[in-house]
Structure 1
Amino acid sequence: MNKTKAYQDLGTTNPLESLVERTNNFLYGLWYNKHITQKQYEKLKVNKEKAELAHLYFLPKAHKPGTPLRPIMSGLKSPTVEISRWLDSLLRS
């Protein structure tokens, strides 16, 4: 993980509250300027009580010599997951 600098250790910092606030402000701006509907805004806005930061975990590659680890990034409750799903459905239609 240190080789690519793709991930950063947050230490004791928790950026979740700021991320939720910035995401909701952005969505509000889209709604206010009529780029999304009220229904879309309500569906996409982040519930700060349910949101969690994405987290990294590892699974062993049992079939490889030395059993290296495969990094997995889980973001099922991240603040932008509903936006990602919505954009995915738009792009697929």
Structure 2
Amino acid sequence: MMRCQRRADLGGRRGLGATRMTIIALVVLRTAYAALIGAVLGVVMGGIITGRMDALPPVDFMIGVGILSVIAPLVSTLPPAVYAAHRDPVGVLRTP
């Protein structure tokens, strides 16, 4: 059976003394990094493509879409991060 590598990583960190807040911050920052890259690329590429079609939306709309596309993943990752932080590290490491 395969183990979830990310679960084992978080359990190992927790077992080595990482606080619950550290685990939550780690999960949220991993998500924030990916969301930020995706938002920037999406807004820039969307602006380039719509600009070539002469249908460029207002700048404040594009900024708002970028901000919302970062906030939505961050909010949705909080419950799994809190759950991961409160799991027993020994139990996580023993799970196959």
Scaled by the length of structure 2, what TM-score is found?
Answer: 0.33
Bigger strand share: 1
TM-score of the superposed pair, with normalisation by structure 1: 0.34
Give the helix-richer structure, 1 or 2.
2
Query: Whose radius of gyration is greater, 1 or 2?
Result: 2
